[in-house]
Amino acid sequence: MVAASPIPIRSKKTKAVGIPTIDLSIQNKSKVSRLIVNACEELGFFKVINHGVPKEVVSSMRDEGTQFFAKTIAEKQRAGPARPFGFGCRNIGVNGDMGELEYLLLHTNPLDISERSQSINSDDPTKFSCAVNDYVHAVRELACEILDLAAEGLWVPDKFVFSRLIRDVHSDSVFRINHYPPLVNPVKEWDPSPSNIGFGEHSDPQILTILTSNDVAGLQICFQDGLWVPVPPDPTSFYVIVGDALQALTNGRFVSVRHRALANSTRQRLSMMYFGAPPLNSWICPPPEMVSPRNPTLYKPFTWSDFKNAAYSLRLGDTRLDLFKTA
């Protein structure tokens, strides 16, 4: 079901809009497919409920994350610097972007997880790696289910065309836990001035992001007409974010949504994101059904590795897909 948020938000273009909520337990799958396609076309963002991810899997991961960020800086630094994987504090990427947060960034390859777990939770590395592997497995399944429904809703005959990329053993998917401590010198709450920015405005480069957080607000999304809308926190649900790669894979039919996180003046926020990505050598080009004389190819074909290199050479807020436009 698509339900408008309790307080309808007024946007210039549409009259009253809200964040779509999609119930994945609805039996009528073609209806769910249509709702997913609409949400990905109009906003590139939606919430899923009755998603099938066991709550113990989420709570174990959240507990491990909370324990990690409660450690001293020296202990957290044992995870290695986030270049690109490990522990990061304030610095985002390698080109000078900053935010009021600390984070742990991990590749989802089980071998990488098991190696890094030794330095993340030296008391019980297996407990940490099991929590991450179980969580990543569950949210990847959720992402694949959503991508298969999206392919069906787009009438693409190969329904696994998108999910195959993130199921691949060589998938370059990433898992991230962000910790936004309460601001030490709070400025006016919800003021998006630099000192209030937890994670600056950007789109995600990957195919699909599956996000959840504790019950503290902070995430905002940008509607297509430029209006920034706060996303109500809901620890029992997941938010789904269309990434740049899915925009390219659908020849621009789905839109990657720009989003940001504002820091909170009183409470700490913990968010967990799975970024579903293809293997590095995969080509990002739309299935033939997405291209027609009326919808000519919008982007030159590129590999995920090409796109990732472009993303890391630019600033967080840059529109990197523009580099790959055909005209």
Q: Which residues lie near ligand GA4 (CB under 6 A)?
A: 84, 92-93, 95, 97, 105, 174, 176, 202, 204-205, 275, 311-312, 316
Stated length of the chain? 327
Q: Which is nearer to ligand GA4, 290 or 316 (CB)?
A: 316
Active-site residue, 269 included: yes
Q: Which is nearer to ligand GA4, 30 or 95 (CB)?
A: 95
- Take residue 75 and report the two structure tokens written for it: 């202990």
Cα radius of gyration rounded to whole Å, the chain: 19
Question: Which segments of 6-96 does DSSP mark as H helices, in order?
Answer: 29-42, 55-69, 73-77
Question: What minimum distance in Å lies between the beta carbon of 241 and ligand GA4?
Answer: 9
Q: Which is nearer to ligand GA4, 92 or 222 (CB)?
A: 92
Q: Which is nearer to ligand GA4, 199 or 299 (CB)?
A: 199
Instruction: Return the DSSP state at 82.
Output: -
How far, in Å, CA of 247 to CA of 109, rounded? 25
Q: Is 216 exposed, middle or buried (0-12, 13-18, 19+ CB in 10 A)?
A: middle
Residue of 116, 176, 258, 269 with catalytic role: 269
Q: Cis peptide leading into 6, omega within 30 of 0?
A: no
- Take residue 126 and report the two structure tokens written for it: 């297996």
Closest to 249 in 3D by CA, of 288, 222, 292: 288
Question: What minimum distance in Å lies between the beta carbon of 19 and ligand GA4?
Answer: 20
Q: Which is nearer to ligand GA4, 149 or 207 (CB)?
A: 207
Question: What minimum distance in Å lies between the beta carbon of 75 and ligand GA4?
Answer: 21
Count the Cβ atoms, other than its own, within 10 Å of residue 87: 23
How far, in Å, CA of 117 to CA of 236, rounded? 26
Cα 157 off chain centre by: 26
Instruction: Return the DSSP state at 13.
Output: S
Question: What minimum distance in Å lies between the beta carbon of 56 and ligand GA4?
Answer: 26
Which of the residues are catalytic?
269
